Amino acid sequence: MGWKGLIEEYRKFLPVDQNTPVITLNEGNTPLIFAPKISALINENVNLFLKYEGLNPTGSFKDRGMTMAISKAKQNGAKAVMCASTGNTSASAAAYSARSGLKCIVLIPKGAIALGKLAQALIHGAEVLAIDGNFDQALELVKEITDNYPVTLVNSLNPFRIEGQKTAAFEVCDSLGKAPDYLAIPVGNAGNITAYWKGFNEYKQNNKISNLPVMLGFQAAGSAPIVNKAIVTDPKTIATAIKIGNPASWKSAETARDDSQGLIEAVTDDEILAAYQLLAQTEGVFVEPASAASVAGILKLAKTGYFKNNTPINIVCVLTGHGLKDPDRAIAIIKQPEVISPTVAAVLEKIKLDK
């Protein structure tokens, strides 16, 4: 009967039982797309794949965690959920809450979330409050309120979020028939790198794979607390999704990095925007800026000679969110269409076709 969502697909790996009301929008099952042009930029032995998480129901990987968090909140009798968000978590929480009948409250940093994400949270009926502060401050408020009032926190500090998100690692392995050699991923609040690492390890323990990937995390240079080993009090980057100065899952991101002999490094906004355009213009894949950090990071490492392989290797870049989330960014960096008269002659003059 086709794909019924990740809880049904991976039920035996998830903390659900027959009494869990499964709240799903058939999330998961996103494509792993081969990227021939970007592979060739690295070396002839690299096969680079794109895990296109922007094709989840609300346009980001957050749906994987949210189907679990909302289903478990329902099972546990919650009436309301709450999150702080740079946009995607709030979009996803709002959609799954609407579907389940839960009240959803969202705190966002004022003026710092992309237009599409704000539209989503609003249209799904969440109560959206913009704070005059940043994401880290919003998360502190949400932690304090959810600790003291009957409201369930659905940020990735909620362990069910990580459980749902680990299924992306399962899907990558199921598609390749093994674990990739490298897994590249943007890092913000650091829940997703934690979830992937958990997923790969569980698949190994269950003999579904025999190797683990090297984990490569990338933060935006102006918001790189893990790289700099210090909280960033005023994070800056055009990649608003990962504009986070004090990640909640900081420790477990370091564990993923160290246990896999990987690294977490910074990429500049210019590098992010170059990768953003490269993905769109050579591979036909439109992502939001934060997602392009994974590809930017791989290209940066390639330039330093990090990939010295003489035999074929697989690299998977996680593309966390859809480009339509942040249309303003694309429009700001690409030349706008010229207005011409509605005549064949005027069109032909501009496009200069050979007969």
Residue 341 C-beta: closest distance to ligand F0G, Å: 41
Nearer to ligand F0G among residue 46 and residue 315 (C-beta): 315
Degrees to nearest 5, angle at CA 258 with 255 and 263: 110
Residue 186 or 297: which CB sits closer to ligand F0G? 186
Q: Which residues are 108's β-sheet partners?
A: 130
Which residue's CB is nearer to ligand F0G, number 24 or number 291?
291
Q: Residue 39 CB, nearest distance to ligand F0G (Å)?
A: 22
Min dist CB 318 to ligand F0G, Å, is 8
Closest CA to 138 of 7, 221, 273, 244: 244
Kindly state the smallest distance separating residue 58's Cβ from ligand F0G, in Å: 10
The two tokens of residue 273 are 């925007």
Under a CB-based contact definition with an 8 Å cutoff, are residues 247 and 187 in contact?
Answer: yes
Could you give the CA distance from residue 39 to residue 78 in angstroms, rounded to a whole number?
A: 46
- Mapping DSSP onto H, E and C, the string for 292-336 reads HHHHHHHHHHHHCCCCCCCCCEEEEEEECEEHHHCHHHHHHHCCC
Q: Could you give the angle at which helices 167-176 and 191-205 cross, rounded to 10 degrees?
A: 50
Which runs of consecutive H residues, i.e. helices, occur in 149-266? 159-165, 167-176, 191-205, 225-228, 250-259
Q: Which residues bind ligand F0G (CB under 6 A)?
A: 60, 62, 85-89, 156, 186-192, 241-242, 288, 290-291, 320-321
| Least distance between ligand F0G and beta carbon 174 (Å) | 22
Return d(Cα 80, Cα 73) in angstroms, integer. 8
On whether the CB atoms of residues 93 and 154 are closer than 8 A, the answer is yes
Q: Tell me how far, at minimum, the Cβ of 276 lies from ligand F0G, in Å.
A: 12
Query: 113: Cβ–Cβ under 8 A, 6 or more apart, which residues?
Result: 85, 86, 87, 90, 240
CB of residue 207 to ligand F0G, shortest distance in Å: 28
Q: Which is nearer to ligand F0G, 51 or 62 (CB)?
A: 62
Nearer Cβ to ligand F0G (214/253): 253
- Compare residues 73 and 242 and give the one whose CB is closer to ligand F0G: 242
Residues across the chain: 355
Q: Which is nearer to ligand F0G, 87 or 235 (by Cβ)?
A: 87
